[in-house]
Structure 1
Amino acid sequence: MRPIKFRLWNRPLNKMQKVSFLQFWGRGVGLLTSTGDHYQLDPKQGELMQFTGVKDENGREIYEGDIVQTYEIDDDGRPINAVVKYEDHLAGFTLTNEYQGVWRRLDNDYPVIGNIYENPELLEARHD
């Protein structure tokens, strides 16, 4: 059984935070971060991301929104990066890169190289 953990992209602070406690009510979320900060957030102010239950090859926890480097290579011989997403119809986590045509279940310990909020350029189409 995997631990249920979350982290938060806090839009007003432009910062990723680990979440220690969550409370849902009405249209908002109350949470306590691992640094002891307490927030009451409207869903527009933050994005919750769940731990996948998988760690990367360096022991780092993989969360929704992380960007991983797959073991596939593109036509120029460079590794293909993909974002971790939860797919409702699969009830599981997948790797996706629309530019490179990648879509598969998260089934390996791919190295985390960033996330979609702090490093969106890692998913951009390459034109060089």
Structure 2
Amino acid sequence: MTKHRPIRFRAWADDKMRAVRAVSFTEKGELFRILDAEGVERWPTALMQYTGFKDRKRREVYEGDIVAVNGLARTVVEWQEYRWHPQIPKKTIYEVLGNVWENPELLKASKKNV
């Protein structure tokens, strides 16, 4: 039997990261609204899916997270071509530093150091 990853989301809504209890879409498949962990309806700017991975500190990795790979390169976790990017080999050490909504300065700092 194959073990499947849990399907979880978080959302950027009202200038704050929110845990998501339920998601609603329009008939065209566009994001409409969420029900956050407190049971409040919100209209999010972005919806981010859990990748099924955890970093070296056992924190869940979500789409839009900024991760450090082997303590050096910083990159954004994204869904591309039917898989999560970056693809992180099992023995690679990576850590969630923040995300593109709450910590955009992490990417700017990374570009200056390259």
Q: TM class, shorter-chain normalised?
A: 0.7 to 0.9
Structure 2 stretches lacking a partner, 5+ long: none
* Partner residue in 1 for 2:18: 17
* Partner residue in 1 for 2:64: 65
1:111 match: secondary structure: strand
The reply to whether residue 82 of structure 1 matches residue 68 of structure 2 is no
Structure 1 stretches lacking a partner, 5+ long: 73-78, 96-104
The reply to whether residue 50 of structure 1 matches residue 49 of structure 2 is yes
Identity level (%) = 37
Aligned-pair RMSD on alpha carbons? 2.0
* Partner residue in 1 for 2:83: 92
User: Contact 1:84–1:106 at 8 Å: present in 2 too?
Assistant: no
Q: Flag the 1:28–1:85 CA change in 2: closer, same or farther, 3 A.
A: closer
Structure-1-length-normalised TM-score: 0.73
Greater strand proportion: 1
CA distance in 2, matches of 1:8, 1:46: 7
Task: Please report how far the alpha carbon of residue 127 of structure 1 lies from its aligned counterpart in structure 2 after TM superposition.
Answer: 5.4
State the aligned residue count. Answer: 105
The reply to whether residue 116 of structure 1 matches residue 100 of structure 2 is yes
The reply to whether residue 29 of structure 1 matches residue 32 of structure 2 is yes
CA distance in 1, matches of 2:11, 2:75: 20
CA distance in 1, matches of 2:8, 2:88: 17
2:98 match: secondary structure: strand
CA distance in 2, matches of 1:127, 1:63: 25
Structure-2-length-normalised TM-score: 0.81
CA distance in 1, matches of 2:55, 2:73: 16
The reply to whether residue 126 of structure 1 matches residue 108 of structure 2 is no
